[in-house]
């Protein structure tokens, strides 16, 4: 059993144990590694000042890891076990500025400079994923949605991102994920990790059986995914969970694949990877994920974390409710005997505000959901206070199955599934609305259904919107969907 996390920072191997393992990565880089180029501004994943590049060895995967941008302010050092972390200090090539730094200088993309390292790292992360061709402004803007600058203005920064010369791009992968670094990380990953400091415990087992045994023995346990939810309250002063369990060393939870009729998503699969996987099988969900948080969040955050947080405004939940999703859990009651596994239909998962139908000691291992069938129209809509990097005020998922092929005249709906987030204590399906939709679909029917939606929900008021606003929004989202179907 290892008593330390093993990570590489700018190519240097680091064994981290004790107090340091429970520090936030950004703090640790600045205060313990002498790397103050990584800045901290918001400390909640919103501004990108703390962006670093990270590649993680995935147990059982032979291909070299890919470097992605992530926020270092809301991740514990312990979670970086098996990772290669590159900070802005590690980007320099010999005596020269890094290509993204040089482009920022050339395009006057920096004034006070406080946000600049974060932008440099976000641009470098984009280049790691981009082919040798030109970077278009739209792509650059998408990759920079997680970074804020208050003085320069974004035009020169986007210009910098688009004009890093292909000949200057030095891929980070070959420089830092060297054969020896990969071998060291893989060797360490064969062993479970148990970190302890002043009553805090962080356990990362190599098998699901060990994970479930630990969960059975620690009723106060929190499973940690990427901590993009968990890390924020900790930074705001809430106590850190006393017992944390990470599944990053368990091979099967990294599995993501298409099956004949559906999609299988392991508990440690990032939303970026999921977006890629669903591009053809569930294109609407893939598109919708573009509006989820920022690249820095999506490169690490998991679908399972979104589900288990149980927020009524979790963006993926209305989709999962209409896509026949099943949440697969494992446990080992009493910490003895064989593993017990069961699947909970997504429609039965939420029992109340952030209350899940999980038994003590149950861990979510993976989620499955359906591909979009050819006769179905799937539409996912979200309204938030700003377009990018904001969770929804109200979100909606509509999946309607049509009779026959599109022809002239009104079409018949044979099955409808409708789900909303942000209109109740949990995300909800709307059976009455679904029944009302079956049959001929016309503008008059659509208006009746929109009014029915407005009448049937009783949302709460909060900082994101009043109850009245949410009711109007819910009805209007349906009107938008109906308009697209009738006239699109
Ligand atoms: C800046 C920012 C923007 C965001 N934008 C959005 C957005 O647009 N839309 C949105 O919906 N959310 C958003 N979020 C919230 C968050 O990113 C998502 O909920 C994300 O999917 C959480 O995944 P995670 O792996 O980080 O979960 P974690 O934070 O690690 O965990 C979240 C919860 O899930 C539990 N959990 C994790 N894995 C398991 C498991 N295997 N078994 C049982 N329980 C488990 C944890 O114990 C915890 O309670 C945002 C967050 C930030 C910081
Ligand atoms: S400091 Fe703002 S995202 Fe980390
Ligand atoms: S240059 Fe000052 S915040 Fe961006």
CA dihedral (303, 307, 308, 309) in degrees, to 10, reads 100
445-463 residue pLDDT tens: 999 999 999 999 988 888 8
209-225 residue pLDDT tens: 999 999 999 988 999 99
The CA 476 to ligand 1 mean position distance, Å, reads 28
Closest ligand 3 atom to 151 CA: 2
Looking at all shown ligands, the one closest to residue 108's CA atom is: 3
Domains of the chain: 5-90+174-246 (3.10.20.30), 99-169 (1.10.150.120), 255-487 (3.30.465.10)
Phi, psi of 44 (to 5 degrees): -140, 25
The CA 313 to ligand 2 mean position distance, Å, reads 22
118-130 residue pLDDT tens: 999 999 999 988 8
Closest ligand 2 atom to 26 CA: 4
The CA 417 to ligand 1 mean position distance, Å, reads 25
Evaluated on CA atoms 462, 467, 468, 470, the torsion sign reads positive
259-281 residue pLDDT tens: 998 999 999 999 999 999 999 99
**Mean pLDDT, rounded, of the chain:** 93
pLDDT grade, residue 408 (50/70/90)?
low
461-485 residue pLDDT tens: 888 889 999 999 999 999 999 999 9
CA dihedral (63, 257, 122, 131) in degrees, to 10, reads 60
Q: Is the per-residue pLDDT at 348 higher than 90?
A: yes
Q: What is the pLDDT of residue 166?
A: 65
Burial class (CB in 10 A: 0-12, 13-18, 19+), 154: middle
Q: State the residue for tokens 């999962």.
A: 320
- Among 79, 305, 353, 357, name the best residue to mutate to test ligand 1's pocket (greatest count of ligand atoms within 8 A of Cβ): 305
Burial class (CB in 10 A: 0-12, 13-18, 19+), 49: buried
Whether ligand 2 lies within 6 angstroms of the CB of 49 is answered as yes
Pocket residues for ligand 1 (CB within 6 Å)?
A: 44-46, 222-230, 232, 247, 267, 292-293, 297, 301-302, 304-306, 308-309, 314-315, 363-364, 389, 391
Closest ligand 3 atom to 149 CA: 4
pLDDT grade, residue 389 (50/70/90)?
confident
Whether ligand 2 lies within 6 angstroms of the CB of 73 is answered as yes
- pTM score of the predicted model: 0.96
The CA 331 to ligand 1 mean position distance, Å, reads 21
CA dihedral (294, 297, 298, 301) in degrees, to 10, reads -160
pLDDT > 70 in the chain, percent: 98
161-212 residue pLDDT tens: 999 876 666 778 888 888 888 888 888 889 999 999 999 999 999 999 999 9
The CA 141 to ligand 2 mean position distance, Å, reads 18
Whether the CB-CB separation of 393 and 465 falls below 8 Å is answered with yes
């Amino acid at each position: 059993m290892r008593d330390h996390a093993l990570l590489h920072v700018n190519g240097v191997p680091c064994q981290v144990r004790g107090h340091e393992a429970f520090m936030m990565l950004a703090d640790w880089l600045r205060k313990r590694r002498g790397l103050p180029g990584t800045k901290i501004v918001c400390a909640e994943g919103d501004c990108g000042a703390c962006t670093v590049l990270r590649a993680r060895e995935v147990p059982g995967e032979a291909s070299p890891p890919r470097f992605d941008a992530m926020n270092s302010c809301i991740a514990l050092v312990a979670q970086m076990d098996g990772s290669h972390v590159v900070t802005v200090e590690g980007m320099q090539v010999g005596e020269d500025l890094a290509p993204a730094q040089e482009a920022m200088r050339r395009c006057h993309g920096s004034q006070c400079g406080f946000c600049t390292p974060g932008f440099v790292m976000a641009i470098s992360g984009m280049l790691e994923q981009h082919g040798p061709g030109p970077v278009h402004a739209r792509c650059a803007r998408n990759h920079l949605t997680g970074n804020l600058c208050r003085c320069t203005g974004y035009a020169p920064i986007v210009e910098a991102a688009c004009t890093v010369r292909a000949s200057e791009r030095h891929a980070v992968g070959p420089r830092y994920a060297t054969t020896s670094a990969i071998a060291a990380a893989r060797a360490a990953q064969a062993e479970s990790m148990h970190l302890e400091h002043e009553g805090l415990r962080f356990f990362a087992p190599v098998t699901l059986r060990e994970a479930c045994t630990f969960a059975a023995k620690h009723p106060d346990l929190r499973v940690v995914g990427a901590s993009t939810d968990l890390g924020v309250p900790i930074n705001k002063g809430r106590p850190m969970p006393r017992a944390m369990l990470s599944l990053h060393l368990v091979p099967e939870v990294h599995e993501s694949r298409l099956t004949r009729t559906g999609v299988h998503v392991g508990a440690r699969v990032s939303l970026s990877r999921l977006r890629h996987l669903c591009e053809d099988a569930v294109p609407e969900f893939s598109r919708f994920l573009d509006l989820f948080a920022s690249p820095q969040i999506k490169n690490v955050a998991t679908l399972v974390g979104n589900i288990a947080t149980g927020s009524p405004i979790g963006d993926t939940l209305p989709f999962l409710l209409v896509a026949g999703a099943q949440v697969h859990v494992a446990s080992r009651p009493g910490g003895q005997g064989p593993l017990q596994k069961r699947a909970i239909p997504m429609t039965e998962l939420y029992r109340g505000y952030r209350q899940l139908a999980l038994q003590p000691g149950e861990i979510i291992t993976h989620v499955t959901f359906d591909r979009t069938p050819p006769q179905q129209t799937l539409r996912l809509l979200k309204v938030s206070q700003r377009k990018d990097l904001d969770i929804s005020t109200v979100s909606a998922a509509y999946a309607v199955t049509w009779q026959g092929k599109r022809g002239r005249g009104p079409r018949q709906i044979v099955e409808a599934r409708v789900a909303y987030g942000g209109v109740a204590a949990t995300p909800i399906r709307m059976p009455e609305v679904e029944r009302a939709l079956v049959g001929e679909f016309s503008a008059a029917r659509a208006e009746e259904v929109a009014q029915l939606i407005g009448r049937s929900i009783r949302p709460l008021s909060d900082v994101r919107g009043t109850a009245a606003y949410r009711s109007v929004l819910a009805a209007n989202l349906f009107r938008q969907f109906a308009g697209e179907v009738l006239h699109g």
